[in-house]
Structure 1
Amino acid sequence: MGLSQSKRSIGTDCGRLEEWMTLLRKDIREHVPIIHLAIPGSHNSMTFKITRKSKLAPDAEKVVQRVYKCLPWFIAKWAKTQSYTTTDQLKFGIRFFDLRISQKETTDIEDRYYIVHGLFSTPMESEMREIKTFLDQHPGELVILDFQHFYEISCDDHDIIHTFLTNLFGDKILTMNDGPLTELTLDKAYKLRKQLLIVYRSAYNSIYYWPGAYFPTPWPNTAKLKVLKEFLVKSLQNRSMDYGWITQCVLTPDSKYIVLRPRSNLELTAKKVWNYLDDWIKAQTPGSLDNGSTECVNILIADFVNIKNSSFISTVVDLNNKIPYQDAPAERIQKDSKIYPDKEKLLNGIIEEYLPY
């Protein structure tokens, strides 16, 4: 059986976004695989705890290590990529988390593995528990964890991480045994009572996780806005619709970029990216190529997803309104702006059965 089809009001953006997957049209939940949805994600997702007092992490480049010795505060403002906590990101609609994991010397085994980005941020385990709590409270939502990079992680460490994740999330984990991505819809996941898909980009993988090849994530690696946009457009044209696809809406500041902007930081840079890509993102289309588009987005990630009242998140979520009705009557009325339809404009309840769950 599907989710209860109770009538929900949009309320605030946070309230709407907190359950945006649950509130998608019924036909989308039933027939559109998650790799054909527009899903908002965060880049270097859990770096919100990085401060000027944070310790240097193993992924820090040599130039960062040298500068850190004299100006740790300067490194911090270019290492922190998010302000929202994990729970806040979930409540505001983020469903994809980009993670870098490193071991940290500690006597507390629960704090052994940390989220890093040049500096140590927060223990991995505590953030995973927050995600578990959110999923327990939101049975219609699905989250993708992308373990992107590992630093100073041995085979034994991978075993420990695998065991922790498996014990914590248990039967919530969607595995490759649950079928191909082209058949993995939100409704199917709900019926299986599974809510988590783990991408594990390591040769030391697990049968429970998906290899990175199933979710390509082309890295723009540029500090120039024009080059970034050109890269995103071109890379989407090479996308396979049988796999997921991560569009990185981020700049990568190099030494020259940073030196020329001594008063700037990564958040100000993220604002420039959003202002530049805003219209481009709004023009994108999810779904399959059957809808007439030459390329279709899937997962879009950004730095500082809190910018402008989380406009990036709501913009990406609302792209799902462009998905054509699936197996719907020809006379169906198309709605145009928000996920939740304006019932006053419906004719005689013709799409009552397609109201959000």
Structure 2
Amino acid sequence: MATSTGEVTSNSDWMSQLAPEVHDTPLYKLAIPGSHDSTSYDLDINSAIIEPDELKKFSPILCARELVRTAATTQDVTITQQLDAGVRYFDLRIAHKTNDPEPNKFYFYHGLCTRTDVETVFRDINDWAEKHPKEILILALSHFKDFDNNIEELHQTLIESIKTVFGAKLCNKVKINKIISYLKYLE
């Protein structure tokens, strides 16, 4: 809730509590709280080492995976807890496990893959967004590790999963093109 002085009192809904004079401010002019390697709280000690390349050969050794997990954990709270704390920008690095028995599953990674798959985390984000409809979330998907062998099909599968989970909440091409046009106009 915003107080009579305009002070934001709840991080869960800080965007909807911004002062009226800020409502027309473009997002790129706002300081948006974000998290680096947003899902690294969930790294799987049983996952093979994905990076750094110098350590991949040590992947069969448990203490090497433990060392990578310790070094790669940049977040210690879940996505939902980050959202409740006010984070609105998420750095989500996607990986596909080459020999995964479920070839259409994706995971996040930072050195190791996460235990929880991408779709499950997306559903958690979507559930949170349902309860906070005035908040804007930016999900920056990148890296796409081990997509090499089947890049087009894997990307299409991931896109369909995103559309299925988020549906109408997604910013469509028309909205994105308007944003890009506006940014170019400002240059």
TM-score (norm 1): 0.45
In the alignment, is the contact (CA less than 8 A) between 2:94 and 2:144 conserved in 1? Answer: yes
Post-superposition shift, 1:25?
A: 0.7
Please state whether the residue corresponding to 1:180 is helix, strand or coil.
Answer: helix
**Residue of 108, 112, 116 corresponding to 2:109:** 116
Q: Which amino acid aligns with 2:81?
A: D
Q: Does 1:147 align with 2:146?
A: no
1:133 and 1:9, CA in 2 relative to 1: closer, same or farther beyond 3 A? farther
Runs of 4+ off more than 4 Å = 7-10
In the alignment, is the contact (CA less than 8 A) between 1:96 and 1:146 conserved in 2? Answer: yes
In the alignment, is the contact (CA less than 8 A) between 2:49 and 2:59 conserved in 1? Answer: no
Write the deviation string for residues 264-308 of structure 1: whole angstroms up to 9, x where unpaired. Answer: xxxxxxxxxxxxxxxxxxxxxxxx9xxxxxxxxxxxxxxxxxxxx
1:180 matched to which residue of 2? 179
Please state whether the residue corresponding to 1:82 is helix, strand or coil.
Answer: coil
Post-superposition shift, 1:107?
A: 3.4
Q: Which amino acid aligns with 1:168?
A: V
**Aligned-residue CA RMSD (Å):** 2.6
In the alignment, is the contact (CA less than 8 A) between 2:12 and 2:86 conserved in 1? Answer: yes
Write the deviation string for residues 15-51 of structure 1: whole angstroms up to 9, x where unpaired. Answer: 611111011011211x201111000111111111125
1:127 matched to which residue of 2? 121
Please state whether the residue corresponding to 2:40 is helix, strand or coil.
Answer: coil
2:10 matched to which residue of 1? 16
CA–CA distance in structure 2, aligned partners of residues 181 and 92 of structure 1: 29
Task: Name structure 2 gaps, 5 residues minimum.
Answer: none
Q: Does 1:37 align with 2:30?
A: yes
Which structure would you say has the larger Rg?
1
2:19 matched to which residue of 1? 25
Between 170-179 and 136-145, report the one with greater CA deviation: 170-179
1:162 matched to which residue of 2? 159
Please state whether the residue corresponding to 1:39 is helix, strand or coil.
Answer: coil
2:56 matched to which residue of 1? 65
Greater helix share, structure number = 2
Please state whether the residue corresponding to 2:17 is helix, strand or coil.
Answer: coil
1:280 matched to which residue of 2? none
Alignment of 1:1-357 (within 5 A): 8-9=2-3, 16-29=10-23, 31-51=24-44, 53-58=45-50, 60-70=51-61, 71=63, 72-104=65-97, 105-108=99-102, 112-121=105-114, 122-153=116-147, 154-178=151-175, 179-181=178-180, 242=183
CA–CA distance in structure 2, aligned partners of residues 57 and 69 of structure 1: 9
In the alignment, is the contact (CA less than 8 A) between 2:89 and 2:139 conserved in 1? Answer: yes
Please state whether the residue corresponding to 2:75 is helix, strand or coil.
Answer: coil
Task: Name structure 1 gaps, 5 residues minimum.
Answer: 1-6, 184-241, 244-287, 289-357
TM-score (norm 2): 0.83
- Percent sequence identity is 27
CA–CA distance in structure 2, aligned partners of residues 63 and 127 of structure 1: 29
In the alignment, is the contact (CA less than 8 A) between 1:101 and 1:149 conserved in 2? Answer: yes
